[in-house]
Amino acid sequence: VCFANTVFLEPIDSIEHIPPARWKLTCYICKQRGSGACIQCHKANCYTAFHVTCAQQAGLYMKMEPVRETGANGTSFSVRKTAYCDIHTPPGSARPLGGVGGASMGSSHSEGEAEDEEDVAGAEEDGKGWSSERAKRAKAKSRLKMKRARKILAERRAAAPVVSVPCIPPH
């Protein structure tokens, strides 16, 4: 699957190449099954599944790297995309604009996350890893973030689409 326009990340091409099993996965963000194909976290042994659009709404991290491919027809460029769940987002990585966390492209975390990240860095320096209290806080924050994303997605599904109809005066 790829994007026809890599700037706006739409429309999605090659949907027919998605394996049937992907359509049966349950999105951990919207909790829906069978309403679209899911992708999984890129972290090894993490099978967390989510829809791309749900991930964008929730502000999950998607790494995009340009790839140069040299073939018989010459050199072409494509974009390799890898997505991560909220637990496995690499530290210091920029979050996408417009997510639930309200972070901008230049920021690696949403409001109120900076002190948690410093706590984690301090724990790693001590060689002890995550304390159970820090892990609980991170998990609670993650749960709250996903709950907000679910609420926004549910509101968008329930809302009537906006349709503009031009009116031409009779004179």
Domain containing 136 equals: 2-156
Residue 70 clears pLDDT 60, i.e. is over it: yes
pLDDT digits (tens, 9 = 90+) for 12-62: 777 888 889 989 999 989 888 888 889 999 999 999 999 988 888 888 888
What is the number of domains present in the chain?
1
Q: What is the mean pLDDT of residues 60-77?
A: 83
Q: Average of pLDDT values for 134-163?
A: 80
pLDDT value of position 95: 53
Decide if 46 is inside a domain: yes
Supply the mean pLDDT for the chain: 74
Structural domain includes residue 65: yes
SS (H, E, C) the chain: CEEEECCCCEEEECHHHCCHHHHHCECCCCCCECCCCCEECCCCCCCCEECHHHHHHHCCCEEEEEEEEEECCEEEEEEEEEECCCCCCCCCCCCCCCCCCCCCCCCCCCCCCHHHHHHHHHHHHHCCCCCHHHHHHHHHHHHHHHHHHHHHHHHHHHCCCCCCCCCCCCC
**Can you give the pLDDT at residue 148?**
83
